[in-house]
Amino acid sequence: MEIDPEIISYVVSLLLAILSLVFGDKYIKYKQKFADSQQLAVKLSAALKATSDAIEDDKITPEEQKTIVEKWKDLIDSAKGLLEVKKDK
């Protein structure tokens, strides 16, 4: 009994199509989560840098205080957004 190569290629193509449908959606979702996590790390770095720069001279000016609060609020809001997305799914 001989199997036609066209049938084998058709079956393999069909299996690959099914796998791409199943895992393609997950790939897109996790790729976005990774990008969001990476952005969160950048915001954490910015908040820590602003805090470090402000306390370097043992004085925190009103401008530095405003910058620190803005950076940390932005970080917290981004983290909350990441957690809310997780709860929904």
pLDDT tens column, 19-34: 888 888 788 888 888 8
Instruction: Give me the domain span that covers residue 24.
Output: 5-88
pLDDT tier for residue 85 given thresholds of 50, 70 and 90? low
Tokens of 21: 């449908």
pLDDT tier for residue 74 given thresholds of 50, 70 and 90? very high
Domain count, the chain: 1
pTM, rounded to two decimals = 0.63
What amino acid occupies position 89?
K
Distance, CA of 89 to CA of 25 (rounded, Å): 13
More confident residue, 33 or 51: 51
Give 9: exposed, middle or buried? Use CB within 10 Å, 0-12, 13-18, 19+. Answer: exposed
pLDDT at 5: 80
> Residue 88: is its pLDDT beyond 70?
no
Please tell me the chain's helix, strand, coil percentages from 3-state DSSP, rounded to the nearest 5: 90, 0, 10
Tokens of 37: 């996590």
